[in-house]
Chain A
């Protein structure tokens, strides 16, 4: 008896089953999901990311930020994502249609970043936080990203982007050379532009929480 071909068929069908179910069916179901056109506002949502934010996405990718930060807000009542202020609503598939890489993430060593642009709208805060997380979040275990900054002599005027470090921090860390400033590199600028672009504030119809219909004549 030669059962080789039969075994092979079974092995093939086993994986074909989930490939059809998980990959193919979902690709057909919502693989061509389009942005939502809002007639009142006369534009589509979500917003298209800017070129600078797209470059920042590449920095987020190459530094591996997603291994500590998720980018998805779970629905109210499942976890405490909205209670923590990580988003006003749950994330929906349409939020991600423009993203060539989806950084949903599986780990929250740090907080969720899906709406970090709305929660921390200040670029200065982001620069300080990236340079040394202890400056803005004492006790954080986030890696410092000092290599995204440059300590350089002031050329002409001080850069408006120069980091506004506290005076004692500057002295302690020897960053007080006269005529020098600490500025973000273009990669840091792109990364911060990306982080500040992360905000899902538009209410898609499908993102409204489900409210069970009230029974007629029920008590209030």
Chain B
């Protein structure tokens, strides 16, 4: 069967190259349709599940009697169910979809045998479902970021390996010479995660190392889940969508490559900063601190590239939902990373370690950066898979403002609360229960911020379901924007 793009070009020599390219991209999008839809919808379900557990855990921390009689909802389990639902349910599902969709587009190669990825999606979601139920039932391993019981490990590993392999295969079939920086991030992330996961499983669960070596393996893994899995996917998406939506090239290709390789070298040593002051060799902690500070290089380089690409085009933030979410995420990536490097300095860590400051930081990283970029990606990708537009710009607007205001309130509030908590905790003259009491107002505000974010998630979910149910329009459509940009307004007036 001749492809539509070549057909268009062969029928009419005057077909503009842009039309051919668009047709080709739309065929590539179509090849990812089913697995991408399955991963994205699973991600949405997990986002809602994770949100419910988030609210339960948050309320329990200032009102400990809330649902206090249920063992399966005790704080230690509900909080862990929240983490795993949002990290492996929401974030990883959406990261998978964005990863292979983006890889296929950038490689100009259709995804082959997409059915395999649908099977991978089933395995992954079965694994996460059993894992979260296991945690609630008391099978948690109590190893941070690796809590899901060992019986779901094979399911998760097989699913991941399939997605990783399929994406790399797509890259190998690439039709373009040039390798864009997003592809570097995607390839690296998909290779790194299985390595981290398998080493951590073996050395912690199946053939445990002795003593605090376990803690080192744990934080080598856990911080790298952020640094070598979610961060590269988030950056790959930001590097794609910012120039794509603006229709102009990235500020500096050279800087983007420098940013990638400096991240690859420094980030994977940084995890040890979670053990500052702990019973592990001092040299490895110092190495971790040094790496955390060196992270300033990739962060600043990436910041220059993202933000200077935006300079002169801020007006586009008024109209494009994708751009607004992605740029919000990119700005937060800069801020959260610089705060993270600062937190690794011993004298700062002495205060922030063991406090809500770390919780604030984690949410700024995973939500204000990663999740917001992924929301932006979904707003771009889903219409191209379903061949329908978003039914309601008002719902997108609600989603954006609720998520943005909610998470900003969240991390600023808990950072202040955590800092006070740390200062008081390091002053033995303040009774411990007073330290606890002084955190409660901040925990209450955090619950409020959580409710605001929940409103955003509900708006998102309603919009997705509405879109699924809507009829596919017959002809060409225009994207759903917040406001019509001037050029488009002129076009529709004609």
Please give the residue numbers on chain A whose beta carbons come within 8 Å of chain B beta carbons, in ascending order: 1, 3-4, 7-8, 10-12, 14-15, 17-19, 21-23, 25-27, 29-33, 60-68, 70, 72, 74-75, 78-80, 83-84, 90-97, 99-111, 133, 137-147
**Cβ B279 vs Cβ A92 within 8 A:** yes
**Cβ B216 vs Cβ A23 within 8 A:** yes
**Cβ A84 vs Cβ B432 within 8 A:** yes
B57-90 with Cβ < 8 A to chain A: 60-62, 64-65, 68-71, 74-77, 79-80
Answer whether residue B275 sits at the interface, using C-beta atoms and an 8 A cutoff.
yes
Answer whether residue B280 sits at the interface, using C-beta atoms and an 8 A cutoff.
yes
**Cβ A64 vs Cβ B79 within 8 A:** yes
Min C-beta distance of B186 to chain A, whole Å: 11
Answer whether residue B465 sits at the interface, using C-beta atoms and an 8 A cutoff.
no
**Cβ A67 vs Cβ B216 within 8 A:** no
7 extra interface residue pairs, beta carbon distance < 8 Å, beyond A14-B265, A62-B138, A66-B144: A1-B177, A21-B284, A22-B269, A64-B140, A91-B279, A101-B143, A133-B64
Answer whether residue B281 sits at the interface, using C-beta atoms and an 8 A cutoff.
yes
A residues less than 8 Å from B211 (CB atoms): 30-31, 33, 93-94, 96-97, 99, 102
**Cβ B68 vs Cβ A32 within 8 A:** no
How far is A64 from B253 in the complex, measured between Cα atoms in Å? 46
**Cβ A111 vs Cβ B432 within 8 A:** yes
Min C-beta distance of B439 to chain A, whole Å: 8
How far is A7 from B210 in the complex, measured between Cα atoms in Å? 35
Please give the residue numbers on chain B whose beta carbons come within 8 Å of chain A beta carbons, in ascending order: 60-62, 64-65, 68-71, 74-77, 79-80, 138-144, 171-172, 177, 179, 184, 187-188, 191-192, 195-196, 199, 203, 208-218, 220, 224, 228, 261, 264-265, 268-269, 271-272, 274-275, 277-281, 284, 287-288, 346, 350, 353-356, 358-359, 425-428, 432-433, 436-437, 439-440, 443
Residue of B with least CB distance to A12 = B191
Among B76, B177, B188, B280, the residue within 8 A (CB) of A93 is B280
With A67-B79, A104-B279 as given contacts, are A139 and B74 in contact (CB-CB < 8 Å)? no
B residues less than 8 Å from A102 (CB atoms): 211-212, 214-215, 218
How far is A22 from B84 in the complex, measured between Cα atoms in Å? 25
Q: Tell which of A10, A26, A75, A80 has the most Cβ of chain B within 10 Å.
A: A26
User: Can you list 27 A-B contacts with CB-CB less than 8 angstroms, sorted by A residue number?
Assistant: A15-B195, A18-B268, A23-B220, A27-B203, A31-B209, A33-B211, A62-B139, A63-B138, A64-B77, A66-B142, A68-B76, A72-B278, A78-B346, A79-B277, A80-B425, A84-B428, A103-B142, A104-B275, A105-B354, A106-B144, A107-B354, A109-B61, A139-B433, A141-B436, A141-B440, A143-B60, A143-B64
**Cβ A68 vs Cβ B279 within 8 A:** no
A residues less than 8 Å from B261 (CB atoms): 10, 14
How far is A137 from B64 in the complex, measured between Cα atoms in Å? 13
**Cβ B268 vs Cβ A15 within 8 A:** yes
A residues less than 8 Å from B143 (CB atoms): 101
**Cβ A21 vs Cβ B287 within 8 A:** yes
**Cβ A64 vs Cβ B80 within 8 A:** yes
**Cβ A7 vs Cβ B287 within 8 A:** no
**Cβ A74 vs Cβ B277 within 8 A:** yes
How far is A1 from B177 in the complex, measured between Cα atoms in Å? 8
How far is A146 from B67 in the complex, measured between Cα atoms in Å? 11
**Cβ B64 vs Cβ A7 within 8 A:** no
How far is A133 from B74 in the complex, measured between Cα atoms in Å? 14
A residues less than 8 Å from B264 (CB atoms): 10-11, 14-15
- The 10 A-B pairs with the shortest beta carbon distances in the complex, nearest first, are A64-B76, A83-B428, A62-B138, A108-B354, A14-B264, A18-B268, A74-B277, A61-B142, A96-B211, A147-B71
Among B64, B210, B359, the residue within 8 A (CB) of A33 is B210
B residues less than 8 Å from A111 (CB atoms): 432
**Cβ B216 vs Cβ A22 within 8 A:** yes
B residues less than 8 Å from A65 (CB atoms): 76, 142
Residue of A with least CB distance to B280 = A93
**Cβ B76 vs Cβ A90 within 8 A:** no
With A17-B268, A29-B281, A96-B279 as given contacts, are A67 and B436 in contact (CB-CB < 8 Å)? no
